[in-house]
């Protein structure tokens, strides 16, 4: 009943807010994929970022977190949704699907490289059976120079790295992991560059509807690069104009309805909460020794002010409280041993039960004496 009432309240609130809630419902990534023409390379051709509007902000945040935490492309691509969203972002910010290169052949990759020097170096490297680390370093520095001078496009740079990685992997060269890190760096750089141009911001503004979320992405990027600027998004969540008194009245009326409908349940809950203070009825299905012991623990907790933690053993608790409970030590020690005998030695004979009862009565008597 409680849930029904709660749902009613939520429904009421939703009705009030209905005019401002977006109606976009379909999965935009599925829509985008359905546009793929068979026979063409499977590179997501995303031109309309408006289609990504219903991707929730936590998902977008996950993509960014993934990008920051991953050191391999496999790691990013392992998370399908992240990879797809990232591809969309990259396409819109750089005009190229940078991380889809792994599907292309060596020849296709080589054709993409528009710098003859780099092509020559890669081909020379590919002919060698043993690759000297200095050759790799030389190629990397040539690539980096070409990139900084702008003589090589971002996609050509990524293609060259992919090719170099493949060559190194074929020869079991450990430098391939360095190349992969460079690829990740290039993706991050592309995003940061896009952010400088305002392209990424535009996308984030449209994707992340919540201001707080985009601020967090901004912080995580800045901690990595210190240069990403994300402005406050312009899309705001606004309530329709409504008198504050009316809102309060609606809430009070809803609470009163819930309380009336669930009066019985509330009573039971309150009873259960107060039961913990004592009484043997709580262990109605347990053996008498268990009831006696756990009730004695509650008494001792009250007297000593020391609670028994879930990981504290019975003897540890006895040792903890013994200096604070005076004459109650003896019966409580007796009850602890009776409990152990029943619980762990499997002894539940009359003698043990009688002894436990005697200790419990002593404990109660001494407590009353102490209180009086």
Partner 1 sequence: MILKVVEKASNILVERSTEIKLVLSSLLARGHVLLEGVPGVAKTYTAKTIALLLGLTFKRIQMTPDLLPSDITGGFIFDQRTGEFKLRKGPIFTNILLVDEINRASPRTQSALLEAMQEKQVTIEGVTMPLEEPFMVIATQNPIEFEGVFPLPEAQLDRFLAKIPVDYPSTIGFMEILKRADEIEEAILNLNPVMNREDVLNAIREASMVRVDDSIYEYIVRIVEESRRHPAVKLGGSPRAGIAMVRLAKAWAYISNRGYVIPDDVKAVAIPVLAHRIILRPEYEVEEVKPETIVKEILSRVPIPRP
**In the complex, which residues of this chain contact partner 1 (CB under 8 A)?**
283, 286, 290, 294, 310-316, 340, 343-346
- Give min distance, CB of 345 to partner 1, in A: 4
Residue among 64, 83, 65 nearest 74 (CA)? 83
Q: Looking at beta carbons only, is 62 or 287 nearer to partner 1?
A: 287
- Classified as helix, coil or strand, 241 is coil
- Give min distance, CB of 310 to partner 1, in A: 4
Q: Looking at beta carbons only, is 132 or 313 nearer to partner 1?
A: 313
- Give min distance, CB of 349 to partner 1, in A: 14
Q: Looking at beta carbons only, is 228 or 363 nearer to partner 1?
A: 363
Q: Looking at beta carbons only, is 84 or 314 nearer to partner 1?
A: 314
Q: Looking at beta carbons only, is 129 or 311 nearer to partner 1?
A: 311
- Give min distance, CB of 315 to partner 1, in A: 5
Cα Rg of the chain, angstroms: 35
DSSP per residue, 42-58: -------GGGGTTS-HH
CA distances from 303 to 56, 86, 300, 310, 358 (A): 54, 62, 5, 19, 20
Q: Looking at beta carbons only, is 290 or 327 nearer to partner 1?
A: 290
Q: In whole angstroms, give the CA distance from residue 29 to residue 49.
A: 11
- Give min distance, CB of 104 to partner 1, in A: 38
Rounded to the nearest 10 degrees, the angle between the axes of helix 288-304 and helix 350-371 is: 20
Q: Looking at beta carbons only, is 217 or 293 nearer to partner 1?
A: 293
CA distances from 253 to 16, 22, 256, 262 (A): 15, 28, 5, 14
Residue 97 sits at the vertex; the CA angle it makes with 95 and 101, to the nearest 5 degrees, is: 140
Q: In whole angstroms, give the CA distance from residue 139 to residue 230.
A: 35
- Give min distance, CB of 275 to partner 1, in A: 15
Structure tokens at 116: 């003859």
CA atoms within 13 A on the CB side of 321: 29
- Give min distance, CB of 21 to partner 1, in A: 40
Give the burial string for 274-289 (b: 16+ CB within 10 Å, else e).
eeeeeeeeebeeeebb
- Give min distance, CB of 52 to partner 1, in A: 35
């Amino acid at each position: 009943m409680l849930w029904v009432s709660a749902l009613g309240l939520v429904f009421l609130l939703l009705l009030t807010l209905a005019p401002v809630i977006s109606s976009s419902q379909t999965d935009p990534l599925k829509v985008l994929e359905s546009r793929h023409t068979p026979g063409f390379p499977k590179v997501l051709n995303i031109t309309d970022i408006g289609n990504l509007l219903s991707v929730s902000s936590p998902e977008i945040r996950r993509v960014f977190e993934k990008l920051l935490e991953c050191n391999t492309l496999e790691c990013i691509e392992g998370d399908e949704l992240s990879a797809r969203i990232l591809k969309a972002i990259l396409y819109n910010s750089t005009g190229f699907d940078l991380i889809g290169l792994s599907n292309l052949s060596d020849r296709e990759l080589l054709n993409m490289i528009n710098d003859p020097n780099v092509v020559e170096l890669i081909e020379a490297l590919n002919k060698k059976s043993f690759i000297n680390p200095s050759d790799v370093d030389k190629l990397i520095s040539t690539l980096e120079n070409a990139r900084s001078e702008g003589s090589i496009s971002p996609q050509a740079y990524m293609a060259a790295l992919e090719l170099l990685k493949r060559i190194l992997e074929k020869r079991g060269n450990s430098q391939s992991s360095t190349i992969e890190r460079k690829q990740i760096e290039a993706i991050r750089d592309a995003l940061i560059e896009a952010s400088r141009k305002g392209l990424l911001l535009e996308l984030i503004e449209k994707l992340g509807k919540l201001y707080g979320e985009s601020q967090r992405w901004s912080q995580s990027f800045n901690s990595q690069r210190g240069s990403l600027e994300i402005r406050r998004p312009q899309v705001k969540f606004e309530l329709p104009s409504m008198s504050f008194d009316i809102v309060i009245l609606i809430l009070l009326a809803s609470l009163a309805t819930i309380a009336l409908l669930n009066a019985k349940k509330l009573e039971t809950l309150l009873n259960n909460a107060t039961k913990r203070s004592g009484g043997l009825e709580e262990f109605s299905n347990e053996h008498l020794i268990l009831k006696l012991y756990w009730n004695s623990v509650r008494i001792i907790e009250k007297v000593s002010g020391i609670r028994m933690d879930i990981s504290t053993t019975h003897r540890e608790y006895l040792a903890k409280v013994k200096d604070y409970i005076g004459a109650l030590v003896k019966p409580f020690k007796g009850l602890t041993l009776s409990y152990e005998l029943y619980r762990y030695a499997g002894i539940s004979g009359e003698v043990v039960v009688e002894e436990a009862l005697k200790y419990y009565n002593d404990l109660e008597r001494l407590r009353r004496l102490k209180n009086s």
